[in-house]
Structure 1
Amino acid sequence: MRTAEAVRNGHPDKVCDLVADALLDAYLARDPNARVAIEVQGGHGKVTAAGEVTTREPMSFEEIQGIIQHTYEDIGYQEKLRVETLIAEQSGEIAAGVDTGGAGDSGIVSGYATSETPSLLPKELALARALAQMIDDPSRRERFGPDGKTQVTLDDSGKVASVVVSAQHLGDLEAARQELRKIVAEVLGDDLREDAKVYLNPAGLFTIGGFTADTGVSGRKIVQDQYGPNIPVGGGSFSGKDGTKVDRSGAYFARYLAVRLVRDHGITSAFVQMAYAIGVPRPVWTRIETEPKESAPKLSDTQATVTEIIETLGLRKPIFTERTKRGHFGFDGL
């Protein structure tokens, strides 16, 4: 059996991811060569954005504050936030290695693709994400608040053995459960076993969400952001980081390689791992595993430099907030 979860865009950790990437996109829109590494923590009325930014077009505190508030409201929350910033320039010692085209840090990244779904993602994750995204649809804002999680467990035949949906709701709990039941049936369809266990807001009322109910930190949802708990991932988060940070660009490129193997070469599944050294442009180690093993072709660009990855995937553009909203992988070639 296999299980994966997905979080809605109003989950406190995902809010912090979206804030971090909204700030990143704002810097990149002004300066495509900006170097950005921002972490965000939020809870109970206050958000702190901390990190390092080197750019020709800095933003004022008021601009940063406005982006954070707009992002929070766009997700579906209305309360005003207090904002604190702790942002400095990138360390000169780190910058010296990046200036020559090297990786912004050492690290290990992973990429995976499977032919079992159109998105080339594990089925349990694809279904959990589809549930979360359907609840997040703006047409449902009269029924549901922005916070929540979904979880799907598959049996060995690929059928759904259990599903958990916790969704912040507005108004009557039973009416919300009835709407969630319709969403589960629509998304899972024939994949849902007749005897499947379905848990809809199993703790009962869920009317208080977001930073009012809990705290969040960017980078805490790196497993559901990638492939779910059954596929190893690197330890670094994505959000708030520009393409010189291989935690993000290297992981995106590993997925890009895996997708090509599955989509273009008829491989059933592909798993790619790469390791980087700070200041070194190319990976210092690469491993590719495929099913079936004997069918794996040789790819010519597995040793691409960080700069080549950024150019190939267009990572100097302000594209990251949308990727974080939709799930980083499963669309637009990744």
Structure 2
Amino acid sequence: MSAAEFLFTSESVSEGHPDKVCDRISDEVVDLYFRKAIEAGYETPRVRAACETAATTNRVVLLGEMRGPDTITPDMVEEVVRAAVRDIGYEQDGFHWETLELNNYLHAQSADIAAGVDEGTGTFTDEGAGDQGIMFGHASDETDEYMPAPISYSHRILKRLAELRHSGERPEFQPDAKSQVTMRYRNGVPVGVDAVVVSTQHGAGYSTEEIRELVRPVVTEVLPEGWFPPEENFYVNPTGKFVIGGPDGDAGLTGRKIIVDTYGGAAPHGGGAFSGKDPTKVDRSAAYASRYLAKNVVAAGLAKRCTLQLSYAIGVAKPLSINVNLHDTANTDERKLEARLMEIMDLSPRGIRTALGLNRPIYARTAAYGHFGRSPDNEGGFSWERLDLVEQLKDLAG
């Protein structure tokens, strides 16, 4: 294989994967706090959430620090936990939405952390970042949604499996699943698929070959025509049967699938997870802002690929740095682009939250199939996928 030709692989996991069950629950709790804040007339910028979830055989444990209206009760939290598990589809002996045991250890946010983040209460007068850290955003012209192709197709395979399961058309499929797509690139452009791996939980009594033939049309439908891998590189449940799955088969934790959540390894990740966090946590909000800017850069024709890094200090509003890398595909000057991006978007936590409308109950929908490459919705979800900065960037081309 020449230097101009290479293979790259990304994986995705389904909404029923144990870690994704935990991400979904954590984000449902965040949404609950925003919903109840709006209902109670509580200022949504004051909501704080850092909800971690662990799950194992018929048990869910909530840990973390929260702040919100007094109207929120433990019963409300339990209700959203059980509803999330039911919606995913778990009604199994080892993990069932109705019979699982819930241990809720959520408590009030640390006063020391609050003092560094709330406006006018810390060392600096402006509302500061909820933590220090580095965040990355990325975009590529490989797909219509400006995402790297391997992670995009991995997500699509699992979303289609879930659609067939939820509709009742394929009751053989159960909630837990993983996919992996190996893409062949030539001169930086994806030209075909070299291998596909799909492992899906299934009902008892089905052979591996039967499940393989149920998965085959899904992969054929998702991949472009002619891109189905060689038969010897099409793997379905390669260890054999997969009946015991979900948190009954493997414990889950919030935040363990950060590469699945982002770009499938095709771009750097700052290290912080997203789910369970309110938007003062720049792990989440600045990663969304970075994606927003990078996507608009590529859509404006300034590059074929863009990776953007931001960095923050806890309690400090202004980002410490911005770096744009156009991967030798630039149609503009990277340093001039950095300056323009800082001009057209306030990258303080409050500025990001305001520009993207993040103080809303929009987070549970992000918990599976990636936080990026999705379509903005009417309720404000995936606002960071908008392309409304393109006109402000086009004049930098050339």
Write the deviation string for residues 148-199 of structure 1: whole angstroms up to 9, x where unpaired: 1000001233211000000011241332211101111111132224466100
1:318 shift after superposition: 0.6
Indicate which of 11, 18, 22 corresponds to 1:12: 18
Q: Distance in 2 between matches of 1:212 and 1:111?
A: 34
| Correspondence for 2:213 | 178
2:57/2:251 contact within 8 Å kept: yes
Q: Secondary structure at the match of 1:251?
A: helix
- Match for residue 304 of structure 2? 268
Provide Cα deviations, 1:65-110, integer angstroms capped at 9, x if missing partner: 1211111111000212111111121111111121121001111110
- Aligned: 1:248 with 2:266: no
**Is the contact between residue 283 and residue 303 of structure 1 (CA under 8 Å) also seen in structure 2?**
no
Which residue number in structure 1 is paired with residue 114 of structure 2? Answer: 95
Pairing 1:133–2:159 present: yes
State the Cα deviation string for residues 304-325 of structure 1 (Å, max 9, x = none).
2110100111111111111223
Partner of 2:28: 22
Distance 1:206 1:91, change over 3 A: same
Task: Select the structure with the greater relative contact order (CA < 8 A; seq sep ≥ 6).
Answer: 1
The C-alpha deviation readout for 1:14-64, integer Å capped at 9, x for no partner, is: 000000001110111111331111010110111111101011245222221
Q: How far apart, in 1, do the equivalents of 2:369 and 2:234 lie?
A: 24
Whole-angstrom CA distance in 2 between matches of 1:122 and 1:191 = 16
Offset of 1:264 from its aligned partner? 2.1
1:147 corresponding residue in structure 2: 176
Measured after TM superposition, the shift of residue 288 of structure 1 is 0.6
Give % identity: 37
Aligned to 1:43: 56
- Cα deviations by residue, 1:260-318 (Å, 9 ceiling, x for unpaired): 10112342011000110000112111111114235244322455211010011111111
**Cα distance in 2 for residues equivalent to 1:25 and 1:325:** 15
- Residue identity in the other structure for 1:35: R
Q: In 2, distance between residues paired with 1:195 and 1:62? A: 51
Q: Which amino acid in the other structure matches residue 184 of structure 1?
A: V
Measure, in 1, the Cα distance between the counterparts of 2:266 and 2:372. 16
TM-align CA RMSD: 1.5
The 5 A counterparts of 1:104-123 are: 104-123=130-149
1:200 alignment partner, one of 210, 233, 236: 236
Residue 360 of structure 2 is matched in structure 1 by 317
Counterpart amino acid of 1:2? Answer: F
Distance 1:115 1:56, change over 3 A: same
1:76 maps to 2:89: yes
Q: Secondary structure at the match of 2:326?
A: strand
CA distance in 1, matches of 2:363, 2:33: 11
Query: Retained in 1: the 8 A contact 2:174–2:202?
Result: yes
Write the deviation string for residues 115-145 of structure 1: whole angstroms up to 9, x where unpaired.
Answer: 1101111100001111111111122451200
**Within 2, Cα distance between the matches of 1:194 and 1:214?**
31
Asked if the contact 2:196–2:235 (Cα under 8 Å) also holds between the matched residues in 1, the reply is yes
The answer (yes or no) to whether the contact 2:29–2:80 under 8 Å persists in 1 is yes
- State the TM-score, normalizing by the size of structure 1: 0.96
1-structure distance, mates of 2:366, 2:59: 25
**Contact 1:115 1:269 (C-alpha < 8 Å) held by counterparts:** yes
Q: Equivalents in 2 of 1:255, 1:196: separation in Å?
A: 36
* C-alpha distance in structure 1 between counterparts of 2:194 and 2:53, whole Å: 36
More displaced stretch, 323-332 vs 231-240: 323-332
Partners in 2 of 1:303 and 1:312 — Cα distance?
A: 8
User: How far apart in 2 are the matches of 1:161 and 1:286?
Assistant: 36
Give the partner amino acid of 2:36: R
The alpha-carbon distance between structure 1 residues 141 and 98, as it changes in their structure 2 partners (threshold 3 A), is farther
- Length-normalised TM-score, structure 2: 0.81
The answer for the alignment partner of 2:388 in structure 1 is: none
CA contact (8 A) 1:286 1:302 kept: no
321, 337, 356: which one aligns with 1:285: 321
Matched residue, 1:215: 251
What CA distance in whole angstroms lies between the structure 2 residues aligned with 1:320 and 1:141?
Answer: 28
Structure 2 unaligned spans of 5+ = 1-6, 38-43, 120-126, 377-383, 386-398
